[in-house]
Structure 1
Amino acid sequence: MPVITLFSGSYCNEKEVVKEIGARTGYQPVSDQEIVAEASQLSRIPENRIERVFTDKTSVFNRLTHERERSLAYLRATLAKRLSEEGLLISGFASQLIPRNISHVLRVCLIADMNARVATAVDVLKVGQAEALKTIHRDDEKAAAWMHALHGAKDPWSAELYDICLPTDKTSSRQIADLVERGISASAIKLASGARQAVDDFKIAANVEIALAKKGHSVDVEVKDGVVTLTINKHVLMLGRLEEELKEIAIRESGVKAVETKVGPGYYQTDVYRRQDFAAPSKILLVDDEKKYVQTLSKRLMMRELDSAVVYDGESALELAQDDEPDVMILDLRMPGIDGIEVLRRVKQTRPQIEVIVLTSQGSEEDRKTCMELGAFAFLSKSVDIDELSQTIKAAHEKIQQERQQP
């Protein structure tokens, strides 16, 4: 039975169309929220962080955690599993992850004239036309970034990307459902043997990506008739050893007939391939308004294989704590604007799982007592030995890991 995917512009009557198609065809609607929830349960990555892959915003820690790549792998695995079910109507951003060579998919686009979309947004959001237009443009930018990342397309609503592209301001939900019903009866999208192999390859690719991610690796994965090709797009000093390690991991996955490796164009750039070390802290945030000091500290920690991100004020620290959720925060006490004590207080209120190490040159005994009462992991002087600071960071990370393992 064919699968229907539906990608819609915002304020283009998507919910009503999905409901009408479901009622007409008996197909089961599957939303982004369902796919993300299943992927989160499978991966143990929080849903809000998996959802970030649908935007062009990438965590500052991604170069170490590969969280975006891992999230995509688990989304693909979830979709691959669902494709074995009958009668699915998959709508939203996740639907675009289904490879184009899976031919039993009817790809539907819903879009409308901008004036019609603005009128709908004004009615739904209870805002003026200018604000409605701004909201729609923001939504379209998000859709465009997603489609460009997946398909290289500049226009997310281009008819070339879909089997059916319908204007919802000129076509009723009933008419759309009628056209879709006729579309799924077309012989061109029946589940033929070639499509079955493409689905199998999709499943294999997702499982290989996950297996590699669990070992800390992030490379491009392609599968054709069970043969896996791994593309390394970052420079590595010992290429042969990496290739052997990747092959050993991939060949164990069910359905894999053979594994090949190659280097991609990114291999010849200055970026360096880094395998994620799950035993080491990978999301460290340094917060200090003394730029020269904190940049030097970041370099000294890197020499001890502790990479970090840096911000220079309390406001940026709070914003990053909300969006990127560092594991360990190294926090200066005296900063203009929002000071360290206030940052610590707010972080522990909203993200108590973040371990905060206060690092100051001006702290009093009263400050130390206040910080520890607020939940700081440690209170250290800036004159502390770098090795002692490194060990404190690792101890904070160990505490986090132990808490995560608790039921």
Structure 2
Amino acid sequence: MSVITVFNGLFCEAGVVVKRVLDATGYRLVTDQEIVADAARLSGMAEEKIARAFQAGTSVFNKFSHEKERSVAWLRLAMAQKLLDSDKLLFSGYASQLPPGSISHLLRVCLIAEIKHRLALAEKEEGFAEKHAHKLIRKDDEDRAAWVKTLKGVKDPWDPSIYDMVVPVPKTGIQETADLIVEQAANEAVKVTHSSRDAVEDFLLAAKVETVLASEGHNVEVAANHGKIVLTINKNVLMLERLERELKEIVGAVEGVRNVESRVGKGFHQADIYRKVDFEVPSKVLLVDDEREFVQTLSERLMLRDMGSAVVYDGEAALDLVKDDEPEVMILDLKMPGIDGIEVLRRVKETRPQIEVIILTGHGSEQDRKVCMDLGAFAYLHKPVDIDVLSETLKAANDKIRRNEG
């Protein structure tokens, strides 16, 4: 039997169509939530972190943490295992984009509708005002476009080249759309074959290799073909031969791998530098200080120690970033215009107590130190600070975070 994947825009009546297809075929529905839960179980990462990979916005820390790439790797592994275990499945949602085009027994379906129909449906089903519905649809389309570009390299999420069927549901009709999907799922062209099964095995092996590399802090493109692995490096590397040796040593130990090749891709000559994630040091450090030259220099010095950081220059900007992103450690000045450091510390510990806050100040008193420690600060340091002392403090904070996660 074939496998059906359904990708759709928001308010395109996909849920009704999918239910009718399931009723007619007896297939089992696999949702994004199930794939995310499996990926979380396999990886040990939190479900909410993995699910964030579906969103268009990427953390300012991602170039150091590779968290989105790691999430995608584990999502691929979860999907590959599902495809290996069963055929009579219908995947609906973002996860439907994960399998490669080489797996021929997948019927890839895209359900769309014109914006006026989507707005009318949002009002009818949810009671949303047009302005609010338009905002929701635009955000959802942006997320889907970013997701498809990440996986397929295609800017248009509804591009017919990546689907077997693109169906405008309102024009076709709900029942007619479901009937069409059921009919095409029985087509000989999407039946399981030995070669399509081999393609699933290749997908599984590539996903395993990708997750092993991700667990070692590496982010490279992986392809598999009957045990042969091709690694593509898409960022500039200062010592390419050493990196290739390390990658081949890691991948060669993966069960099922017979041969490993490496090559540079089209992004190799870009200015961005390849960075391996060092899990022993924090990769999500937020620096908050109104002394711009000082904090920018500090960020650069931390980067030389493989610690990823972002910089903001006042308390309000820090609170905004904490609300929208996920810093793990904050280095916080006390004396700043507007919201001062003590108030930032107080609010952060009220809303995101898992963030470890290191106070770094040139003006604090003993009373300030006591207040900060009572509010939950991890450490209280004075400027000028020895970079080695700060580095050790950051590593200690990182160790505490990892223990709490475990």
TM over 0.5, yes or no? yes
TM-score range, shorter chain: over 0.9
Which stretch has the larger CA shift, 260-269 or 179-188?
260-269
User: What is the CA distance between 1:305 and its match in structure 2?
Assistant: 4.1
Partner of 1:72: 72
Structure 1 residue 172: deviation in Å? Answer: 3.5
Residue 386 of structure 1 is matched in structure 2 by 387
Q: Which residue of 1 aligns with 2:194?
A: 193
Residues 348, 203 of structure 1: CA spacing in aligned structure 2 closer, same or farther, 3 A cutoff? same
Pairing of 1:63-142 with structure 2 (within 5 A) = 63-84=63-84, 85-142=86-143
Amino acid across the alignment from 2:212: A
Name the CA distance, whole Å, in 2 between partners of 1:124 and 1:339: 46
The answer for the alignment partner of 1:363 in structure 2 is 364
Q: Which runs of 4+ in 1 moved over 4 A?
A: none
1:58 corresponds to: 58
Label 1:348 to 1:196 Cα distance change in 2 as closer, same or farther (>3 A). same
* Cα displacement string for residues 81-140 of structure 1 (whole angstroms, at most 9, x for unaligned residues): 000213111011111111111100011111112211110112334232233223222222
CA distance in 1, matches of 2:398, 2:360: 17
- State the alpha-carbon separation in 1 of the partners of residues 166 and 303 from structure 2: 51
Distance between the aligned counterparts of 1:226 and 1:304, measured in 2? 37
Unaligned stretches of 5+ residues in structure 2? none
Report the equivalent of 1:321.
Answer: 322
Secondary structure at 1:379 match in 2: strand
Structure 1 length as normaliser, TM-score? 0.94
| Equivalent position SS for 1:230 | strand
User: Aligned pair 1:170/2:171, yes or no?
Assistant: yes
1:295 alignment partner in structure 2: 296
- Distance change (3 Å), C-alpha of 1:180 and 1:307: closer
Q: Which residue of 1 aligns with 2:34?
A: 34
The 2-side partners of 1:369 and 1:260 are apart by: 57
Q: Which amino acid aligns with 2:76?
A: R
Structure 1 equivalent of residue 236 of structure 2: 235
Distance in 2, Cα, partners of 1:77 & 1:23: 28
Aligned pairs, number:
405
Moved more, 89-98 or 252-261: 252-261
C-alpha distance in 1 between matches for 2:105 and 2:305: 52
For 2:219, give the aligned amino acid.
S
1:401, 1:155 → 2: CA distance?
Answer: 39
* Residue identity opposite 2:266 in structure 1: P
Given residue 101 of structure 2, which amino acid in structure 1 is its aligned partner?
R
Aligned-pair distance for 1:149?
2.7
Question: Which residue number corresponds to residue 211 of structure 1?
Answer: 212
SS at match of 2:218: coil
Query: Could you state the TM-score of these two structures normalised by the residue count of structure 2?
Result: 0.95
SS of 2:19's partner is: helix
Give 1:404 shift: 2.8
SS at match of 1:266: coil
Identity %: 56
2:345 maps to amino acid: L
Shift of 1:226: 2.2
CA distance in 1, matches of 2:394, 2:67: 21
Unaligned runs of 5+ in 1: none
- Cα distance change of structure 1 residues 244 and 184 upon mapping to structure 2, 3 Å threshold: same
C-alpha contact (below 8 Å) 2:64/2:307 kept by paired residues = no
Residues 262-321 of structure 1: CA distance to partner in whole angstroms, max 9, x if unpaired?
112322233222221111222211111221121122223334443422111223222332
CA distance in 2, matches of 1:221, 1:150: 12
Change over 3 Å in CA distance of 1:54–1:289 after alignment to 2: same
Give the aligned CA root-mean-square deviation in angstroms.
1.8
Matched residues in 2 for 1:125 and 1:342: separation?
Answer: 39
1:399 maps to 400
